[in-house]
Amino acid sequence: MSATLTYRRLRPDAPVGLLDKACLELHPRHVACARCADTCPAKVLSLTPEGLRLDDGCLGCGCCMAVCPTGALAVHGFSLALTPESTLETLSLDCWKVPNHLSPPAVVRVPCLGGLSVSHLLALRYVAGSRRFALLDRGWCAECAAGRHDCHPAQVALSSTRDWLKAIGAPESHWPVLDTQPLAVSFQRQTISNDIKTSPFKRRDFLSQLACEVAAIVSEVAAFRIEENAAGGMVQPMHSLAPLRAIEREHQLLLLEQLAARYGGSLPARFFPAVEIGPDCRDHRLCVNFCPTGALRAYQDINDSGVMFDAAICIACGQCQKICPEHTVRLQPQPAHDSPRDKPVTLTRHARRICTECGATFATGGREKHCPICRKSKNIAHAGFDILFRDTTARNGRHKH
């Protein structure tokens, strides 16, 4: 059974949708993230104290979507229909700005190659089967408003995808490549808006269609659509404490598992971040409360309690490491050893005791006899007594003189 994820359109006249509950910046378990705004070539996407804002001038290139670590953004034109493997030797991707008659037969056309995320490329690699998989470089990107001056706009996602495919044992002939097929500058480029006007807004994402084919290993298949009548303006932060759903990571994990099975390899250990919590942990559980995806979660039984970790849903944001008051949490995004990933693992175990002061049950990793609240009250009382005693001594000393 598939579930449709509805992306709120940021502006009535722009093809960009946002899934509030997947945005790191808008989520109550706030994690500072400005990748979409920093990447926007038109500089019309911004993060303000009031929320996410999209100004006039959006190019519809999808570059913001490609770098979003959680899949919170969707852009019209990247929901592609899956087709059976054709007799063509190469599955090619071309830009919408290239006139239709100049694109190869059965080509996959997208608004901009820079809008392709790693999960997009992995999905297309899966669909390509035994075919060669190529992105067409027409030589126009450097002069395009959505282009980059340091490299091709798809180069970062392309390199990451090739890295993962190499790690799972895919032959080099199956790695996606950038094919240089330049076109004369005299050709008139099509505008993205022309393609938008001839296409419906509500469409299922091709990643979700692909997930349907391998649904045996997942319990829920997601699709996305961009609301046609969504209100424009800034999107406000949410107030629900439910864990954030990292859709991009879900798709990457799903696709890498299937591709690894195809190539006889296995998922690389470095795909699964490792978290360690040292012996100085005082079980404040701030790391749990501020973990956006719920990768860190608390457990409790009769005799002890602590923190568990699920590497499969960790996005390596580093929030747990930053928030720990004892600085005892350590994140290792690319561990040298094989990280556990098939099920959550226990990171800490604290014995449960009864406070001798108030009778409340509390967790401790040491020999404390009082709960944190009573310890804090006692510390405040001692500090107050010391201040009072020092002040009295100082006054008495002045009177003697």
Contact by Cβ (8 Å): 177, 192:
no
Contact by Cβ (8 Å): 268, 166:
no
What does the pLDDT look like over 201-244, one tens digit per residue?
A: 333 355 555 555 443 333 233 344 455 444 445 544 444 467 88
Cα 250 to Cα 243: distance, rounded to the nearest angstrom: 14
Cα 52 to Cα 234: distance, rounded to the nearest angstrom: 5
What does the pLDDT look like over 351-378, one tens digit per residue?
A: 777 788 787 776 666 667 777 778 778 7
Q: What residues does 361 pair with on adjacent strands? A: 354
DSSP 230: -
Burial of 384 per CB tally in 10 Å (0-12, 13-18, 19+): exposed
What does the pLDDT look like over 341-352, one tens digit per residue?
A: 667 889 998 877
Contact by Cβ (8 Å): 105, 154:
no
Cα 380 to Cα 88: distance, rounded to the nearest angstrom: 76
Contact by Cβ (8 Å): 119, 78:
no
Quick one: average pLDDT of 137-142?
88
Task: Look over the chain and give the mean of its residue pLDDT values, rounded to a whole number.
Answer: 79
Distances (CA, A) of 354 to 130, 283, 367: 64, 15, 12
Give phi and psi for 277, each to the nearest 5.
Answer: -120, 120
What does the pLDDT look like over 327-339, one tens digit per residue?
A: 999 998 665 556 5
Q: What crossing angle do the helices spanning 118-128 and 155-167 adopt, rounded to 10°?
A: 60
First-residue to last-residue Cα distance in the chain: 87
Give the pLDDT band (50/70/90) at residue 396.
Answer: low
The domains of the chain, with CATH numbers, are: 2-257 (no CATH), 269-356+360-364 (3.30.70.20)
Tell me, what's the pLDDT at 309? 94
